[in-house]
C-alpha cells in the first residue's frame, strides 16, 4: 500500500468519526453543563460526574426512541441535539464553574502518562479486530443491531438462551454507539470508556474521603491495570460496565455523605440502579451494597439520613423499568430466577437451570484464580487480598472507631462491603457463569490500594513522589503482566507512553492558554484521523480476522449468505450462538427462533426447563412454522448451540432432502436452503 493510498484511507475513514462526533457533542456538552450543578471540588470529580451523566443520556435516548419505534440514525441525531439544546437553554445562565487548577507533579504526570500508554495502546490495537466474544455475538451487539434495523427496542427469543429477560441497559448503550456511527467500530471496544470512567471515579472518591493525590491516582490505576479487568475491555460485554456503575454508586454516596448534598445521593442511587439494570450480577450486588453503605452513612453521618431516602428512591426508579417489563411479560420480574423457599414459589414462571452456586469452598479459589486470561492470576489475587486486608484493618490502633479519620472509616466500610458481596456472590450466583464475573468486585478491591499507599508515607523514602511512583509502577506490573505480554507489546506501549507523557506535560506545565488549547485541539484532530484510518484498515482485514478468531467455516457461511441476500435481506432459522455474525454486512438479515415443540410456545417463560422447550418435538409442526415465518435458510451450529438435544433440527433437515437443500457442511456448521414451494 503506497503513501497516497494510506492518505486516502485516512481521509475517507475520518468521515466516520466526524459524523460520530456530531451525535456525541450535544450530549457531551449537556453532561458538562449539568455536572456544574453538583459543585465538584476538582477535575477528577468533574469528569467522573460528567461521564456518568453522559452515560445516562446514552441509555435514555435509545430507550425512549426505541419504545416509540423511532430508533433510527436520523431520529437519534435530532434527539441528541434537542437534548443538548434543552440543557443549554436551562443552564446557560449558571455561573461558570471555577475549579482549582490541576497542578500535577512530575511523578503524578508520569503515572497518568503510563495510564494513557497502557489503555491507549490496547484501544488502538484492538480497534483493528472485528467484534469478538460469545456474549457479544449472542446479545450485547446482536440486540442493538436488530433494534436499529427495526427501529424498536424489543425482546428477542433465542433457542437455548434466556437473554430476552436480561436487564438491557448495557445493550441500550451499545445501541447508541452503533446508531450514531452506523457500525460497531466504537461499540465493540467501548468498555475502555467505562474503564477510564472507573479510573476517574476511583481517584475522585479517594480524594473526596481524604487520601493524598498520589495515593488516589495509584488506586485509580490499580483499577485499570488489574489483569482480568483490562483483558475484558477488548470485548463488548458488560462486566466492566457493571463494575463501573457499582463503583460510581459507592463513590458518589461517600462523597454525598462527606458533604451532605442531596445531588450526590441522587447520582449515587442512579449508579446503583444502572448496575442493577445492566446485568443480573449487578442486580445481585447493587442492593446489598447500597443497604450496607447506607447503614454506615445512617450511623456514622446522622445528618445525611434524609438524603438516603433520595438515594434509595433514585436507585429504584433507575433500575425498575427492566424488571417491571419482565413482570408484565414473563410474570416474574427476575425471570428466569426461582424466587421462593422450599416448595413455596413467589412467582410461578421460572426456569430450573440446574446451575448451583460455587459456594463457600476451596473450589471458589480455583474457579476465580487460575492461569486463564479471563481469571485473576495468583500474584494479582494476592495483591487484591493485601489491599482488602489493609482496608479492613485501618481502624486498628485506636480505642474508638469514631476517632479515626474519615478516609479510614470509608476504607473499612468499603472493605466490609466487598467481603459481604463476595460471600453473596459465591453463595447465590450460578456456577455456569465464567470467572470474569469477579470483575466488579476486583474493581472495588483495587480501590482499596489507596490504603497501603497512604501507610507507606510513614517511611521517608516513600514521602517523595518518585519513590511512591516507583512502588506504584512495580505493583501495576505485578497486577498486569500475566494478561499482557510485555516483551511483545512493551516497545509499542512505550511509544504510546512517551506520546501521552509529552501531551500531558505540555498541557499541564504550559502557562500559555493558547498553547494548551492548541495541544488539546491537535490531540483531538489526531485521534479523529487515527480512528478513521483504523476503521478503514479494520474493514479491509475483517474477513481474515473473523476467520482467525471465530472459524473459517463461520466466515465461509457468512459470505455464502451475503451472496444470496436480496435487497430485503434473508430470513434465517438459526440454531447456535453467533447471532451477530450472521445478520449480514448491512444488518438486513432476520434470524428466526422457530420452536420445535408441538405446543409451539416460543418464549422461555412458557416452560420450567430447557428440556420442556425441546422435547417432545414435532417435525410437521416445526416445518409449517418455518414456512409461515418465511424462512429462506436453516443454519445449525452444533459447536455453540446450547439447547438440549441440539441435533433435532439437523436430523430433521437431513432426513427430508425434498424440503431442505444442503449448501454447506463443515466444522459442525450446516447450512440448508429451504426449497420453494410452487
Looking at residue 398, its pLDDT comes to: 53
Q: Does position 383 have pLDDT exceeding 70, yes or no?
A: yes
Q: Does position 401 have pLDDT exceeding 60, yes or no?
A: no
pLDDT band at 279 (very low <50, low <70, confident <90, very high): very high
Reported as a single tens digit per residue, the pLDDT across 152-177 is: 999 998 888 889 999 999 999 999 99
C-alpha 461 chain-centroid distance: 39
Distance CA 530, CA 128 (A): 11
Whose cell is 495502546? That residue is 121
Q: Does position 336 have pLDDT exceeding 60, yes or no?
A: yes
Q: Which residues contact 421 (CB under 8 A, 6 or more apart)?
A: 285, 288, 289, 441, 444
3-state secondary structure 372-419: CCCCECHHHHHHHHHHHHHHHCCCCCCCCHHHCCHHHHHHHHHHHHHH
Q: Does position 403 have pLDDT exceeding 60, yes or no?
A: no
Distance CA 19, CA 531 (A): 12
Q: Does position 528 have pLDDT exceeding 90, yes or no?
A: no
Instruction: Give ∠ CA 448-454-460 in degrees, rounded to 5.
Output: 150
Looking at residue 373, its pLDDT comes to: 78
Q: Which residues contact 15 (CB under 8 A, 6 or more apart)?
A: 532
> Cell digits for 606?
412458557
Whose cell is 497502557? That residue is 118
| Number of CB atoms found within 10 A of residue 150's CB | 15
Per DSSP (E only), the strands in 71-145 are none
Whose cell is 500500500? That residue is 1
Distance CA 175, CA 629 (A): 26
Alpha helix stretches (DSSP H) within 550-609: 552-564
Whose cell is 414451494? That residue is 677
Looking at residue 326, its pLDDT comes to: 93
Contact in structure between 333 and 324 (CB atoms under 8 Å): yes
Distance CA 465, CA 554 (A): 53
User: Does a cis peptide bond (omega within 30 degrees of 0) precede residue 616?
Assistant: yes
Looking at residue 512, its pLDDT comes to: 84
Reported as a single tens digit per residue, the pLDDT across 537-558 is: 888 888 888 888 888 999 999 9
Element (H, E) at 423: helix 406-428
Contact in structure between 188 and 236 (CB atoms under 8 Å): yes
Mean pLDDT (whole number) for 562-589: 89
Q: CA nearest 247: which of 268, 225, 276?
A: 268
Reported as a single tens digit per residue, the pLDDT across 240-253 is: 999 999 999 999 99
Residue 319 burial by Cβ neighbours in a 10 Å radius (0-12, 13-18, 19+): buried
Mean pLDDT (whole number) for 136-163: 93
Tell me which of 420 and 14 has the higher pLDDT: 420
Distance CA 302, CA 490 (A): 51
Mean pLDDT (whole number) for 50-73: 98
Reported as a single tens digit per residue, the pLDDT across 421-449 is: 999 999 998 866 788 999 999 999 999 99
| C-beta pairs of 361-365 under 8 Å, 24+ apart in sequence | 364/426
Element (H, E) at 5: helix 3-35
- DSSP 8-state assignment for residue 364: H
Any idea how long the chain is? 678
3-state secondary structure 455-494: HHCCCHHHHCHHHHHHHHHHHHHHHHCCCCCHHHHHHHHH
Contact in structure between 208 and 251 (CB atoms under 8 Å): yes
Mean pLDDT (whole number) for 74-97: 93
Distance CA 641, CA 647 (A): 9
SS3 state of residue 666: strand
Q: CA nearest 583: which of 593, 595, 575, 572?
A: 572
Q: Does position 95 have pLDDT exceeding 90, yes or no?
A: no
Distance CA 233, CA 235 (A): 5
Distance CA 674, CA 66 (A): 33
| Number of CB atoms found within 10 A of residue 5's CB | 9
Q: CA nearest 218: which of 113, 123, 108, 116?
A: 108
pLDDT band at 397 (very low <50, low <70, confident <90, very high): low
Whose cell is 498541557? That residue is 507
SS3 state of residue 124: helix
pTM, rounded to two decimals: 0.95
Handedness of CA 203, 206, 207, 212 (dihedral sign): negative
DSSP 3-state helix, strand, coil percentages of the chain (rounded to 5)? Answer: 65, 5, 30
CA atoms within 13 A on the CB side of 425: 27
Distance CA 433, CA 368 (A): 11
Max mean pLDDT range (396-400, 495-499, 615-619): 495-499
> Cell digits for 333?
420480574
Q: Does position 583 have pLDDT exceeding 50, yes or no?
A: yes
Distance CA 589, CA 330 (A): 27
Contact in structure between 634 and 582 (CB atoms under 8 Å): no
Looking at residue 12, its pLDDT comes to: 61
Looking at residue 213, its pLDDT comes to: 96
Q: Which residues contact 57 (CB under 8 A, 6 or more apart)?
A: 27, 30, 31, 80, 83
Looking at residue 13, its pLDDT comes to: 67
Distance CA 454, CA 476 (A): 16
Which residues does residue 666 pair with via DSSP β-bridges, in sequence order? 669
| Number of CB atoms found within 10 A of residue 340's CB | 12
- Tell me the CA end-to-end span of the chain in Å, nearest whole number: 51
Looking at residue 537, its pLDDT comes to: 85
Distance CA 198, CA 241 (A): 9
Distance CA 352, CA 339 (A): 11
Q: Does position 466 have pLDDT exceeding 80, yes or no?
A: yes
pLDDT band at 1 (very low <50, low <70, confident <90, very high): very low
Q: Does position 566 have pLDDT exceeding 60, yes or no?
A: yes
Looking at residue 536, its pLDDT comes to: 84
Amino acid at each position: 500500500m503506497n503513501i497516497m493510498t494510506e492518505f486516502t484511507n485516512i481521509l475517507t475513514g475520518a468521515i466516520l468519526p466526524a459524523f460520530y462526533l456530531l451525535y456525541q457533542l450535544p450530549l457531551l456538552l449537556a453532561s458538562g453543563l449539568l455536572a456544574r450543578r453538583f459543585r465538584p471540588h476538582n477535575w477528577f470529580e468533574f469528569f467522573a460526574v460528567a461521564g456518568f451523566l453522559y452515560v445516562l443520556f446514552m441509555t435514555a435516548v435509545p430507550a425512549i426512541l426505541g419504545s416509540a419505534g423511532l430508533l433510527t440514525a436520523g431520529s437519534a441525531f435530532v434527539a441528541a441535539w434537542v437534548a443538548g439544546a434543552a440543557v443549554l437553554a436551562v443552564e446557560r445562565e449558571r455561573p461558570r464553574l471555577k475549579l482549582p487548577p490541576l497542578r500535577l507533579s512530575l511523578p503524578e504526570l508520569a503515572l497518568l502518562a503510563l495510564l494513557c500508554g497502557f489503555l491507549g495502546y490496547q484501544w488502538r490495537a484492538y480497534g483493528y479486530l472485528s467484534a469478538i466474544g460469545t456474549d457479544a455475538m449472542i446479545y450485547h451487539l446482536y440486540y442493538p443491531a436488530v433494534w436499529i434495523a427495526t427501529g424498536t427496542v424489543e425482546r428477542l427469543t433465542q433457542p437455548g438462551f434466556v437473554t430476552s429477560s436480561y436487564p438491557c441497559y448495557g445493550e441500550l448503550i451499545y445501541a447508541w454507539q452503533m446508531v450514531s456511527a452506523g457500525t460497531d467500530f466504537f461499540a465493540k471496544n467501548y468498555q475502555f470508556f467505562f474503564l477510564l470512567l472507573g479510573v476517574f471515579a476511583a481517584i475522585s472518591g479517594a480524594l473526596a474521603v481524604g487520601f493524598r493525590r498520589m495515593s488516589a491516582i495509584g488506586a485509580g490505576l490499580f483499577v485499570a491495570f488489574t489483569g482480568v479487568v483490562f483483558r475484558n475491555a477488548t470485548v463488548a460485554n458488560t462486566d466492566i460496565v457493571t463494575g463501573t456503575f457499582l463503583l460510581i454508586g459507592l463513590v458518589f454516596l461517600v462523597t454525598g455523605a462527606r458533604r451532605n448534598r442531596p445531588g450526590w445521593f441522587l447520582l449515587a442511587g442512579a449508579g446503583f440502579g444502572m448496575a442493577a439494570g445492566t446485568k443480573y450480577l449487578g442486580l445481585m450486588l447493587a442492593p446489598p451494597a447500597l443497604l450496607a453503605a447506607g447503614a454506615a452513612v445512617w450511623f456514622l453521618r446522622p445528618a445525611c439520613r434524609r438524603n438516603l431516602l433520595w438515594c434509595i428512591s433514585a436507585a429504584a426508579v433507575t433500575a425498575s423499568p427492566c424488571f417491571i417489563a419482565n413482570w408484565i411479560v414473563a410474570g416474574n420480574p427476575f425471570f428466569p430466577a426461582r424466587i421462593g423457599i422450599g416448595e413455596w414459589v413467589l412467582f410461578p414462571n421460572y426456569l430450573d437451570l440446574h446451575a448451583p452456586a460455587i459456594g463457600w469452598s476451596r473450589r471458589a479459589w480455583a474457579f476465580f484464580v487460575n492461569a486463564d486470561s479471563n481469571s485473576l492470576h495468583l500474584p494479582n489475587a494476592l495483591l487484591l487480598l493485601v489491599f482488602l486486608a489493609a482496608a479492613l484493618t485501618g481502624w486498628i490502633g485506636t480505642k474508638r472507631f469514631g476517632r479515626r479519620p474519615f478516609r479510614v472509616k470509608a476504607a473499612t466500610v468499603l472493605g466490609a462491603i466487598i467481603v459481604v458481596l463476595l460471600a453473596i456472590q459465591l453463595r447465590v450466583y450460578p456456577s455456569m457463569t465464567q470467572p470474569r464475573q469477579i470483575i466488579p468486585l476486583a474493581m472495588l478491591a483495587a480501590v482499596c490500594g489507596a490504603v497501603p499507599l497512604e501507610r507507606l508515607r510513614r517511611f521517608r523514602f516513600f514521602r517523595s513522589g518518585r519513590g511512591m511512583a516507583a512502588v506504584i509502577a512495580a505493583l501495576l506490573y505485578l497486577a498486569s503482566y500475566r494478561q499482557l505480554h510485555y516483551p511483545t507489546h512493551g516497545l509499542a506501549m512505550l511509544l504510546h507512553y512517551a506520546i501521552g507523557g509529552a501531551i500531558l506535560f505540555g498541557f499541564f506545565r504550559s502557562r500559555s492558554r493558547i498553547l494548551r488549547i492548541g495541544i488539546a485541539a491537535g490531540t483531538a484532530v489526531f485521534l479523529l484521523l487515527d480512528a478513521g484510518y483504523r476503521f478503514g484498515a479494520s474493514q479491509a482485514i475483517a474477513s481474515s480476522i473473523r476467520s482467525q478468531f471465530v472459524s473459517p467455516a463461520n466466515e465461509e457461511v457468512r459470505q455464502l449468505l451475503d451472496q444470496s441476500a436480496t435487497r430485503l435481506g434473508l430470513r434465517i432459522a438459526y440454531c447456535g450462538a453467533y447471532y451477530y455474525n450472521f445478520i449480514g454486512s448491512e444488518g438486513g438479515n432476520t434470524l428466526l427462533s422457530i420452536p420445535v415443540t408441538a405446543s409451539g410456545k416460543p418464549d422461555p417463560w412458557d416452560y420450567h426447563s430447557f428440556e420442556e422447550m425441546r422435547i417432545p418435538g414435532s417435525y410437521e409442526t416445526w416445518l409449517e412454522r418455518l414456512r409461515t415465518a418465511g424462512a429462506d435458510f436453516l443454519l445449525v451450529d452444533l459447536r455453540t448451540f446450547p439447547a438440549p438435544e441440539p441435533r433435532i433440527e439437523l436430523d430433521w433437515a437431513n432426513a427430508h432432502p425434498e424440503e431442505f437443500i444442503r449448501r454447506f457442511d463443515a466444522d459442525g456448521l450446516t447450512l440448508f436452503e429451504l426449497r420453494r414451494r410452487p
